[in-house]
Amino acid sequence: GDIVKRKNSFAAGIAKRIAAAGYGVFAMDYPGFGLSQGLHGYIPSFDKLVDGVIEHYAKVR
């Protein structure tokens, strides 16, 4: 809800400032957090979470 929107806005503001300083900024919306659907904080499969994180950040390299 509103808290998620404020957190996303805050994070986006920081990301923009870091990017403006010449750095690359990468983030992901972890399952159960941010804008993800379902119960907040619920992660149905930790293995899938880890695999998703590895896949996401492998693309960043």
pLDDT, block means (10 residues), the chain with 61 residues = 64 88 84 75 88 87 71
In the block, tokens 């010449």 appear at 22
For position 20, what pLDDT does the model report? Answer: 93
Task: For 36-56, give one letter per residue: b (16+ CB within 10 A) or e.
Answer: eeeeeeebeeeeeeeeeeeee
How far apart CA 15 and CA 12 sit, in angstroms, is 5
For position 11, what pLDDT does the model report? Answer: 80
Dihedrals φ, ψ of 45, to 5°? Answer: -145, 110
- Written as one letter, the residue type at 38 is G
How far apart CA 33 and CA 43 sit, in angstroms, is 9
